[in-house]
Amino acid sequence: QVQLVESGGGLVQPGGSLRLSCAASGFTLDYYNIGWFRQAPGKEREGVVCISSSASSTYYADSVKGRFTISRDNAKNSVYLQMHSLKPEDTAVYYCAAHGSTLGPPEYLTLDVSDYDYWGQGTQVTVSS
C-alpha cells in the first residue's frame, strides 16, 4: 500500500522553528520528486517547495525563501522540511506529495498540485503567540 505520512507539526510562537518529516511506505522515493504543500482555512492548497529525486535541485515559493529548507534521505525513504522564522501566515495544514513513477523521475520541478500523484494526510502547523 502506497503511503506518505507527515509528522512534526504543532503549535509554535512567531519566530520559532519546526521540522516536518514525510515518510514513505509501499514504494521507494528514489524515482520521485517530492513537494511540500500547505492549505490554510478557506484558501486553496499552495506549493511551498519541492526537491528533485537526487536532491540536486530545489524550487521554493517566494513566500518561504530563506526561511524554509527541504532535504531528503532516500536511504530512509524520507523527506524533511525545516522551517525557521515562522510567521502567523504560515499557519496551515502541511502536506507532502510525490511526483513521478517507477519509469523514472520527472525532468522538471513543479509546485502545481495537479502534477502530484501521491499525497499524505497532512500535519497541522499553527503559528501563534
- State the pLDDT at residue 113: 97
**Site of grid cell 503567540:** 129
Q: If you average pLDDT over every residue of the chain, what do you get?
A: 96
User: Helix or strand or coil: residue 64?
Assistant: coil
Measured CA to CA, the distance from residue 124 to residue 120 in angstroms comes to: 12
Q: Categorize the per-residue pLDDT at 98 as very low, low, confident or very high, splitting at 50, 70 and 90.
A: very high
- State the pLDDT at residue 1: 85
Beta-bridge mates of residue 119:
97
* 26-74 residue pLDDT tens: 999 999 999 999 999 999 999 999 999 999 999 999 999 999 999 999 9
